[in-house]
Structure 1
Amino acid sequence: MKKIIFSFLSIFAANLGYTQAYEFQTIKEINCTPVISQGITGTCWSFSTTSFLESEIIRLTGKPVDLSEMYTVRNTYPKKAENYVLRQGKIQFSEGGLAHDVLNSVAQNGLVPNSVYSGLNGTAEKHNHTELQALLEGMLKVFVENPGKKLSPQWKEAAQAVLDVYLGENPTEFIYDGKKYTPMTFLATSKIDPKAYVSLTSFTNEPFYKPFILNVPDNFSNGSFYNLPLDEFIRAIDEALEKGYTLSLDCDVSEPTFSGKYGVAVVPENETDAKTILTEIKPEKKITQEFRQQEFENLSTQDDHLMHIVGKVKDQNGTIYYKVKNSWGETSGKNGFMYMSVSYMRLKALSVLVHKDALTAATKKSLGL
């Protein structure tokens, strides 16, 4: 009789496990700056990677600093505009970008604090680039059409003038904590070396352990990514976090099981669980390298958002999730953070940016670093 009761309780407990509401416990958390909102802009690439650099500055100097996301945006727009005009409008012109675009800007233009350059227009308290983007794109289309039959070099000045009006003129000198800086001398105090970071990805259409240009729309600057097998790609993320390094993440958030409301990103094994898995623990799909590639090539996986990986949590069953800082404000997700399952990371993470010292010696050797 006891054996029958025990069996019944075991079955009941197992079934109960599939109706459990999530209970999360932090197992790894690396210092990061507070969650903020990107507002009505498509500049998540700058917000996520700037947050990443802020964590790097804490790691390198021990001092937190609030960097300007819009300073990078302001200095990246002219590059996008030139790319669009010289390619005669045969590519997209958008607000989007990737993590390496921030590093490219840092290397060329330095860094400034947000208190020096907020990028907010007039009395605005939130970013809204709807008008700016529409105006710039309209101007650039005129330049591409070239009604004068010979494009005037003043087109670049016109684009710069629009950026100055909407975002503000670039600072050349400023005072911060009582000291005078230029953007480049401020960069020097941050200890950030733009050449010390690498972008990693995992796709089978290119050779492993070699860099290649990832063909996604927001890679307007033709940045290169080191290609790792999927298991090694995930291990690289895990090992970086274990060593105290955070990562900038480019991923697909268009799936219905990426929930800004509930703060979880998961991949249900059964499609019928797509709704309930947002609030209850359900079995997740095993993601292979082949399935990941298939979903990328059929355009089910796209690069539509960048965030910042800052740690790990686990649920009451011991299942691991990545703690990911988002830029949709503190009211989104779990106080602004997303808990992303390993399955979701394996399937939907297009790439990560990380300091090369976070990689193992074996991975460095394989990549020739």
Structure 2
Amino acid sequence: MTQSISSEQLAKFQKNLHARESHDVIERAVTKNGILANSYDLKAQAKMEPVFSIDLDVGNVSNQKQSGRCWMFAALNTMRHDMKTNFKVTKDFELSQNFTYFWDKLEKANYFYQNVLETADKPTDDRTVSWLMTTPQQDGGQWDMIVAIIEKYGVVPQSVMPETYNSSKSTEINATLNLKLRKDAVDLRELVAAGTSEAEIEAVKEAKLTEIYRLLAYSFGEPPATFDFEYRDSDNEYHIDKNLTPKTFYDKFIGWDLDEYVSIINGPTDDKPYNNMYTVDRLGNVVNGRPVRHLNVNMADFRDVAIKQLQSGESVWFGCDVGQSSERQLGIMDTELYHKDELFNIDLALSKAERLDYGESLMTHAMVLTGVDIVDDQATKWKVENSWGEKVGKKGFFVMSDNWMEEYCYQVVVNKKFLPEKLQTILKEEPKVLAPWDPMGALA
């Protein structure tokens, strides 16, 4: 039976508070300096020295600025690392995140329209419809979504399609685009309700996509169809390739077979048994493009495939909950960094599965593993390339403890050749479909 807090209970609360000898000292410290500063453990910081037994030379970090394109930056960074090795591009070379951003926004609009039409017979308070309208589109994404864009449109150097105000500061474009998409959803649902023919609806949808294209071109600039790639390499040798398309540029300068790269997740909840394939309903960007697919494995396999790819000299795209137990300025992610439980004398322990099931954690950010420290055959800490510029961490690079990876990392993308044979076989299986709001569908 529900009861209000009584005066007797309040007296007990106060007695319990005052029974702790140091409560006045703690109150003064926390009210003045905050929770994190007073639960910070300097000893944990000391253990996170950025020295690694495997440490790839990947060049300078990038900066996504005030946008949510970490997944895109991380993917393009892994590709430019290869270009640095194979073509000696300089440390500050970048692939155009604005180019892939443009096409992602256009494709997400079309994907949203498709979902609106497929659910038009449901009321607006239906959970799926409500979920669609809460965020018609956003900056975030997953590995398979950037692959879908690259497979369809290719990539270009950043010098060919540089950043703009709206790509670096996406609040205005997202608010405007979501307003338009919700308005368009009203129109499309009304057409379906009126029994309009499929051909007429498609014509209306095309007109709306024409407007989206205009909105994006004004905001990001129009993507180039052809371009010349002119650069000096790290040996100061001059190069020029003329009349490239975004797809021929990709084929010549990157050339990865993207079908060989697979998403590996660690989602230890009861509804996702390990060694099975999963996908997420209504998650994607390119209609009829590459679907989102995850292979769920235990942390031993998760860690092992990441190490194998690093040992081969190739960096690793990964997704995590970056805000948990991390210090942005120092660039440290460690489960022992803060002791809020000791500060308040309360139990804050949750398992990884419990954090997922109860909304305490999910994937919020994508970065790149560029190193690992292996001591006595055990990974102890990892080197992380972030996309927040050089003013955080050590010139933009972070250190992640292995315990932090265990608790807060959810996804790595690796070449499937690094998977044991038993897992490679599972990749061919039909995936189980998860609900749109499943935490494994979170967009980094």
Q: C-alpha offsets along residues 290-318 of structure 1, whole Å, 9 cap, x if unaligned?
A: 92222211122212111111112489xx9
2:145 is aligned with 1:101: yes
With 86-95 and 293-302 compared, the bigger mean Cα shift is at 86-95
Q: Does residue 336 of structure 2 align to residue 268 of structure 1?
A: yes
Match of 2:226 among 173, 176, 191: 173
> How many Å apart are 1:209 and its aligned residue?
2.5
The verdict on how the C-alpha distance between 1:136 and 1:118 changes in structure 2, with shifts beyond 3 A counting, is: same
Question: Are residue 21 (structure 1) and residue 54 (structure 2) matched?
Answer: no
Q: What does residue 6 of structure 2 align with?
A: none
2:278 to 212, 218, 222: 212
Cα 1:143–1:267, aligned 2, differ >3 Å: closer, same or farther?
same
Quickly say closer, same or farther: Cα 1:274–1:330, change in 2 above 3 A. farther
Match of 1:4 in 2: none
* Cα separation, 2, equivalents of 1:233 and 1:245: 16
Residue 110 of structure 2 aligns to a residue in which SS? helix
Determine helix, strand or coil for the equivalent of 1:37.
coil
Answer yes or no: is 1:160 the counterpart of 2:213. Answer: yes
Distance between the aligned counterparts of 2:221 and 2:44, measured in 1? 52
Correspondence for 1:75 among 83, 103, 111: 103
Task: Give CA-to-partner distance per residue, 1:263-288, whole Å, 9 cap, x none.
Answer: 1101129834889xxxxxxxxx9x9x
Please identify, of 62-71 and 174-183, the stretch whose mean Cα deviation from structure 2 is larger. 62-71
Question: Aligned to 1:108, what secondary structure does the other structure show?
Answer: helix
Alignment-mate amino acid for residue 195 of structure 1: D
* CA offset digits 1:205-263 (Å, max 9, x no partner): 22432321158x976675111111221111111222122221111110122x2111121
- Between the aligned partners of 1:20 and 1:98, the Cα distance in structure 2 is 31
Question: Shift of the alpha carbon at 1:323?
Answer: 0.6
Residues in 2 aligned to 1:58 and 1:360: alpha-carbon distance in whole angstroms:
29
When residues 18 and 187 of structure 1 are mapped into structure 2, their CA distance, relative to the original with a 3 A threshold, is closer
Mapped partners of 2:419, 2:361: distance in 1: 26
The normalised TM-score by structure 2 is: 0.68
- Is this contact kept in 1: 2:96–2:161, CA < 8 A? yes
Q: Give the CA deviation at 1:319.
A: 7.4
Counterpart residue number, 1:311? 371
TM-score normalised per structure 1 = 0.81
Secondary structure of 2:52's counterpart equals strand
2:179 to 138, 142, 145: 138
Q: Distance in 2 between matches of 1:20 and 1:306?
A: 23
Q: Classify 1:360/1:243 alpha carbon distance in 2 versus 1 (closer, same or farther; 3 Å).
A: farther
Q: % of aligned pairs identical?
A: 22
What is aligned with 1:6? none
How big is the shift at 1:66?
2.2
Out of 346, 350, 358, the residue aligned to residue 406 of structure 2 is 346
2:169 to 112, 121, 128: 128
Q: 1:219 to 1:322 in 2, by over 3 A?
A: farther
Q: 2:248 aligns with which of 170, 174, 185?
A: 185
Listed as ranges, the gaps of 5+ residues in structure 2 are 1-41, 117-128, 192-200, 231-239, 430-444
* d(CA) in 2 for partners of 1:211, 1:310: 27
Find the aligned partners of 1:326 and 1:270 in 2 and give their Cα distance: 21
Return the offset for 1:85: 2.8
Residues 27 and 188 of structure 1, relative CA distance in 2, 3 Å threshold? same
- Asked whether the equivalents of residues 218 and 303 of structure 1 are also in contact (C-alpha less than 8 Å), the reply is no
Moved over 6 A (4+): none
Superposition deviation, residue 32 in structure 1: 1.7
Whether the 8 Å CA contact 1:119–1:166 is kept in 2: the answer is: no
- The number of equivalent residue pairs is 334
